[in-house]
Structure 1
Amino acid sequence: MSVAAHVDAWLKAHRDEVIGWRRHIHAHPELSNAEHKTTAFLAMILREHGLEPTLFPGTGLMVDIGPDGGRIAFRADIDALPLTEVTGLEFSSTVPGVAHACGHDVHTTVVLALGCALSEIQDQLTHGVRLIFQPAEEVMDGGAVDVISWGALADVAAIFAVHVEPKLRVGRVGVRTGAITSATDVLEIQVTGPGGHTSRPHLSSDVIYGLGSLITQLPGLLSRRVDPRTGTVLVFGQVNSGYAPNAIPETGSVTGTARTADITTWRSMQPLLEELVSQVLAPTGCSHTILYRRGVPPVLNDDVATALLAQAARSFDPQSVVDAPQSSGGEDFSWYLEKVPGSMARLGCWSGEGDRQDLHQGDLLVDERAIGVGARMFAGVVDEYGAAPDAEGL
């Protein structure tokens, strides 16, 4: 029996148990780097199924299954978001102001179910498997950085992940070679001047005018300095300054995000924006300070790993695989792909009824059939990895 066939049978036999895991995690969300109860719950379930997890410092854990050396890894993120759930589900968040509105409870259950099913056939695996339950995906620059430093990628040859997609019908899997997400950095520009009266702007450096120049000119200038095919965009979401209509303030700030799907552009983004900010503000006479927070690089899916994911999904449903669009959102799974090849897929979770919702919203609903789709696909990856002639090159 193939790994995928075993996992499929296991999921059918343990459906209620698996759904119960997801609903427990969903009802008890924890913020980034505070996932203590979630970590304890996962460790308990894994031990009940004969596995011995390794706990990370603080929160999160990993567990190895099967033979040593050349492992393939499957990563789940376990943290929740600081927002209020408004779904009205019986298993809604019991923690005020905290909710699994990005589907991490589903990602975690997919990997947990895979591990518990594989625990029964460890001696039959041709390649070892590592499950990584990562904390703090929702904060910059992502918990993946710490997890990697703790040795989670030691002896790992390739790594895979899924992210729920509420715009995609359950049963469908979106795949994409190359960039599937974008790099996301935060840019804050603090502008200062001597201040003054609006009747005498020529006697001061106009901070408001300087902020307006940045807001209107900087995104356009950036678009003329980078290849438009890179999906590079700068958008401001916050501006602060002033206290009276007839006074030119002494300080002000504007904050936004810079995103790109191109790794080379990302690496040169900060010095380029610093140069352009200086050029825009020079005629105004204002001084400035730039606070630049590097986020995460784009998730760059390996072509062979993506082909394995697609083939694994098609092994259960030939019509399941669709092309995933490139997203401007950020994902710290990218840090793993800086070290080893791998791929992230979009996991459809829309039931087919009602509106297609969005991530990071308090009313997000997930069709729980997506858990089985994800676990079966990952099991198929285990099979495909052992059989594919190109897999050893990952």
Structure 2
Amino acid sequence: MSPSLAESIARSIDVVTPDLIEVRRDLHAYPELSWHEERTTDIVAVWMDKLGVSYERFEGTGLMAEIGPTEGPIVALRADLDALPVIDTSQDPWKSTVPGVSHSCGHDVHVSALLGAAVALAHVHAEHGLPVRVRLIFQPAEEVMPGGALKLLAAGALKGVSRIFALHCDPSLDVGQVGLREGPITGASDHIVVHLSGRGGHTSRPHLTEDLTYALGSLLTQLPAVLSRRFDPRAGASMVWGQIRSGNAANVIPSTGELSGTLRMLDAAAWHQAEHLVRGLISDIIEPFGVSADVTYTRGVPPVVNDFGATEILRRAVSQAVGPAGVASTAQSLGGEDFAWYVEAVPGSMGRLGTRTPDGPTYDLHQGNLRVDERAIAVGAKVLAIAAVS
């Protein structure tokens, strides 16, 4: 891509950056959970209308828009819309106004960055014409398994697309840096809920019950332990429980109880075997107690596997947007991300967008105190727009 085109993109985004920051703060103040991103979708639609960009709403929430020539290759850019059921504990003036809901994964930044890319691409196309058609995908429900990407794929979101790019906030990287990795960059992630039922009773007579509480405790500790010996260690499998519910009194053995958690791993081949193995182990672990189990195993997402060629395009885009020093290496994580479904269909790459203020504190995703350096919005917008037309 010519330096003049990259400079034109950068200038367009610099002009609109104050507006992008404002829209990010608005989205942050009014977060919406998965499949309920009506207001967020409306805001994106208003921006498309102002730009004169045609778009199509998906059923429910989310939309996709296109900028560029009607013929030729199509490159897609994706941002996710949804927030998390996490209390916002920050003290910013734009903190969440929705009780128990917050943008603690940075999707407000993702949306704002893609809006910025849309502004630049629309400007360049009006002035000079784009070399490719760019499809902007504003996707709902990334935070629930198996992810909103599957619904959009079924609706034709990638029809005719030759490659796809996305960025995800990374509070462990300084603003101005983008973490890149060829091959797998995230892990597979499944959701497991185990509902146990059995004969309860008085704690003075456990022998007359099926002691469901003890069975829950055994499953709580033994399933992660056994899985660590049944999976190849190189698969990086991690079974972590997040919820346990049972009982209402200290002297009553309950008749029902529930465990729920996630199973994550780095290896796609192991992921395909996981459900069968987990179901068998649960049955074996609870068998001595005489309780019964109802297992809900929700297959989540495979690892995001970045294409070599697409990652090289993203690398050049970062260099043109912020300079070669902006390119950072990044490790594969166990986090799940439904962008994986897109890159199983077409070549693509996801980068990690640095949001930490240099020498500032390091926050973590999915935490209510997450704060981002808002300069990351313009960085993300430039990288996405340049990658699209490279």
Q: Percent identity?
A: 48
The equivalences for 1:28-177 within 5 A come to 28-67=30-69, 68-122=71-125, 124-177=129-182
Distance 1:199 1:24, change over 3 A: closer
Structure 2: distance between partners of 1:26 and 1:242: 37
CA contact (8 A) 1:350 1:366 kept: yes
Does the alignment pair 1:282 with 2:287? Answer: yes
2:324 is paired with a residue of what secondary structure? Answer: coil
Residue 217 in structure 1 maps to residue 222 in structure 2: yes
Q: d(CA) in 1 for partners of 2:171 and 2:312?
A: 23
- Secondary structure (helix, strand or coil) at the match of 1:157 reads strand
SS of match in other structure, 1:310 = helix
The 2-side partners of 1:365 and 1:241 are apart by: 35
| Greater CA drift, 169-178 or 348-357 | 348-357
Change (3 A) 1:149 1:285: same
Kindly report structure 1 stretches of 4+ aligned residues shifted beyond 6 Å: none
| Aligned-pair CA distance for 1:261 | 1.8
Shift of 1:145: 1.4
Q: Residues 216 and 38 from structure 1, CA distance in 2 versus in 1: closer, same or farther, beyond 3 angstroms?
A: closer
The residue aligned with 1:311 is: 316
Q: 2:365 aligns with which of 353, 359, 364?
A: 359
Contact preservation (8 Å) 1:306, 1:343: yes
Which range is displaced more, 218-227 or 109-118? 218-227
Matches within 5 A, 1:255-334: 255-315=260-320, 316-334=322-340
The residue matched to 2:328 in structure 1 has which SS?
A: strand
Query: Cα–Cα, structure 1 residues 189 and 90, in superposed 2: closer, same or farther, change >3 Å?
Result: closer
Deviation at 1:244, TM superposition (A): 4.6
User: Which sits farther off after the overlay, 160-169 or 245-254?
Assistant: 245-254
Q: Which residue of 2 aligns with 1:26?
A: 28
Q: State the SS of the aligned residue for 2:345.
A: coil
Q: Distance in 2 between matches of 1:27 and 1:199?
A: 52
Structure 1 residues 14, 286: CA separation in 2 closer, same or farther (over 3 Å shift)? closer
Report the counterpart of residue 387 of structure 1 in structure 2: none
Is the 1:69–1:155 Cα contact (8 Å) retained in structure 2? no
Task: Report how far residue 269 of structure 1 moved.
Answer: 1.0
Output the CA distance in 2 between the equivalents of 1:244 and 1:41.
49
Would the alpha carbon gap of residues 244 and 332 (structure 1) be closer, same or farther in structure 2, given more than 3 Å must change?
Answer: same
What SS is found at the alignment partner of 2:293? strand
Distance 1:367 1:287, change over 3 A: same
Contact 2:132 2:389 in 1 (8 A): no
Runs (5+) with no aligned partner, structure 2: none
Deviates more, 1:154-163 or 1:257-266: 257-266
Q: Residue 4 of structure 1 contacts residue 383 of structure 1 at CA under 8 Å; is this kept in 2?
A: no
| Shift in alpha-carbon separation, 1:101–1:202, aligned structure 2, 3 A | closer
- TM superposition shift of 1:245: 4.5
Question: Structure 1 residues 374, 193: closer, same or farther in 2, change over 3 A?
Answer: same
Deviation at 1:124, TM superposition (A): 2.7
Q: How many angstroms does 1:240 deviate by?
A: 2.8
1: distance between equivalents of 2:102 and 2:248?
A: 36
Deviation by residue 1:271-314 (Cα, 9 ceiling, x = unmatched): 11011112222333332221212222221212221222122212
In 2, Cα distance between the equivalents of 1:98 and 1:202?
Answer: 45
Q: Aligned-pair distance for 1:125?
A: 2.0
Q: Do the aligned residues in 1 keep the contact of 2:120 with 2:385 (CA within 8 Å)?
A: no
Q: Are 1:372 and 2:378 an aligned pair?
A: yes
Structure 2: which amino acid aligns with 1:91? W
Residue 5 of structure 2 corresponds to residue 3 of structure 1: yes
Cα drift, residue 351 of structure 1: 0.9
